[in-house]
Structure 1
């Protein structure tokens, strides 16, 4: 028997896929939010292609943030890198100190309009949660476990790859999940610099005073965020269960 929570997720996913592939089926639901004969469904592009472009941008930025933040977190938790921990924290905090809009304003003159400035902004914004969770996960590995691994003759590299990272993985994944959710919502501002994504729908609604467009863009992003959060949470629970 399917649990209610699982059923709701499946229903939400099915509804989302149906909406972005055949949005005009739902025109009746958005017509009350239009005025003066304005279109009820966004008609300046394909919702499906915009959703895919949005997810590609988020995936690219989060992937880059994960690689950099995890490697940096590993480095500063090694004896040779401990002294660089304060400097590393200051660097990854830059992304949270400056709002993404400010990063876009600086990046556009350097790399031009399009996806590139959005990727830079999301990359910087997503570093901190992954970096801090990597440090937390690695430093919380029980010393007795490390001593046992050392007593078995494992080299520092073997201890890192076979003991520390697997045990820290649920905590690291929690940081990646947080970074991905933040990036998913923040990526909508990329449309202000001509990046493809669901922000186009929201901005079009704001420019034309069409609440229906704003709702469509916001609802798709919200449902994507919920599904992404649940999927990554399930992955965390699976890994934690395997590690006991």
Structure 2
């Protein structure tokens, strides 16, 4: 029973999100309660479905890039030849947390121009830390008996990495990617301030025109996507944990 209610909520949320994106006008009567009588209710300066897909595209690319870079750094500093680079790697991945995304956007625009590129740079830098720290923790806390057994059967360092270390570390690494994806999803809204096509465009339009209906549309879509993406990664983590448990048997 405990699982049925959350699952039903997620299903309802997914159906409601798809229904709204497919036909937002059907929700106009509900949203009109939050708006001035003569103001437009549904965002009319672009298709919400298209903006949502473009928003997800930027987030997916940035999350993949941040995860790849952070994982490479974590693998490097957990190898005997790369341990001396740990302080440098930590400094690099902390850059995104040191500078707010808005500051990164301001610095990136003169170099790469307006649009998706500065948004991608800001999201990539901001998403490095969770994946790096989770991967580092996972790779340095592996069961010693398993690692010794792998060495005992003659596995090389790279074989241990691909066949033992990464599979066993997968649940913890996925938790870091999950956090990066959710953070990127919400942070991507500020990309619209530098002409990137994201759902932030709807929120900004609402703020500029004092249109609460627009703000609700953009905010609720982002919130719904965040919940669904979080749940998707949670499912992947559980699947990876089961696979890890089976491997350890």
Tell me the TM-score normalised to structure 1 length. 0.98
Secondary structure (helix, strand or coil) at the match of 1:165 reads helix
Query: Secondary structure of the residue that 2:223 maps to in structure 1?
Result: helix
Q: Which residue of 2 aligns with 1:137?
A: 138
1:48-67: per-residue Cα shift (whole Å, max 9, x none)?
00000000000000010011
Matched, 1:182 2:187: no
Question: C-alpha offsets along residues 128-154 of structure 1, whole Å, 9 cap, x if unaligned?
Answer: 000001101101101111100000110
- Aligned partner of 1:55 in structure 2 is 56
Deviations 1:27-76 (A, max 9, x none): 01111111151011111110000000000000000010011100110000
After TM superposition, which residue ranges in structure 1, 4 or more long, deviate above 6 angstroms?
none
1:74 to 2:112 alignment: no
Instruction: Tell me how far apart the structure 2 counterparts of residues 82 and 100 of structure 1 sit (CA, whole Å).
Output: 29
Residue in structure 1 matched with residue 102 of structure 2 by the alignment: 101
CA-based RMSD: 1.0
Name 1:86's counterpart in structure 2: 87
Q: Tell me which residue corresponds to 1:32.
A: 33
What SS does structure 2 have at the residue aligned with 1:43? coil
Q: 1:3 and 1:88 mapped to 2: Cα distance?
A: 43
- Give distance in 1, aligned partners of 2:22 and 2:44: 13
Counterpart residue number, 2:120: 119
Q: How many residues align?
A: 244
User: CA offset at residue 22 of structure 1?
Assistant: 0.5
Question: Structure 2: which 5+ residue stretches go unaligned?
Answer: none
Task: Give 1:187 shift.
Answer: 0.1
- Write the distance in 1 (CA, Å) between the matches of 2:177 and 2:131: 5
User: Which deviations, in whole Å up to 9, do the C-alpha atoms of 1:74-120 show, x marking residues without a partner?
Assistant: 00011111111011101110000000000000000001000000000
The answer to whether 1:205 aligns with 2:206 is: yes
Structure 1 unaligned residues grouped into runs of 5+: none
Shift of 1:3: 1.8
> How far did 1:7 drift?
1.4
Indicate the SS of the match to 1:141: coil
| Structure 1 counterpart of 2:47 | 46
Which whole-Å deviations, capped at 9, do the CAs of 1:175-206 have from their partners, x for residues lacking one? 00000000000000000000001000000000
